[in-house]
């Protein structure tokens, strides 16, 4: 059974940093293509960053230059390093995974992602 578990959320002041992690299990033999999303209260879900099969990252304009997505294939973990955090980054952050061998690696379309974590809350105060 595929499971995604996020960790690393918390409360920080504006300008601070956090590193989110997403532990994956249940995939064999390869780690799937994955992405980070976020959703703030009263707002639509937003794609934050994604990785292609060759680890090429894509970012939303709102986080470009501040966030970095990466993964450790050996540990089967996905990461999101968040620097220069702003109050508008406050949201629940989710990792998501595509089906194995998907042709849509790197996509920003959430409906393509089959597996989702429960989310981790990030709160940035001004």
Rounded to whole angstroms, the Cα distance separating 58 from 52 reads 8
How open is the CA angle 109-83-50, to the nearest 5 degrees?
20
* Predicted pLDDT at 26: 86
Dihedral class, residue 16 (left if φ above 0, else alpha if ψ from -120 to 50, else beta): beta
Predicted confidence at residue 100, as pLDDT, reads 85
**What local confidence, expressed as pLDDT, does residue 4 receive?**
96
* Residue stretches of the chain with pLDDT short of 50: none
Note the pLDDT of residue 30: 80
């Amino acid at each position: 059974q595929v499971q995604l578990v996020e960790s690393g959320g918390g409360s920080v002041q504006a300008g601070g940093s956090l590193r989110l992690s997403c532990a994956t299990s249940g995939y064999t033999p390869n780690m799937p293509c994955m992405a980070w999303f976020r959703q703030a209260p009263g707002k639509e879900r937003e794609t934050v960053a994604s990785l292609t099969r060759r680890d090429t990252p894509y970012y939303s304009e709102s986080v470009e230059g501040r966030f970095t997505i990466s993964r450790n294939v050996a540990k089967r973990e996905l990461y999101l390093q968040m620097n220069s955090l702003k109050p508008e980054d406050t949201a629940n952050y989710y990792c998501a995974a595509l089906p194995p061998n998907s042709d849509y690696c790197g996509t920003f379309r959430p409906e393509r992602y089959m597996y989702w974590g429960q989310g981790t809350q990030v709160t940035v105060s001004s």
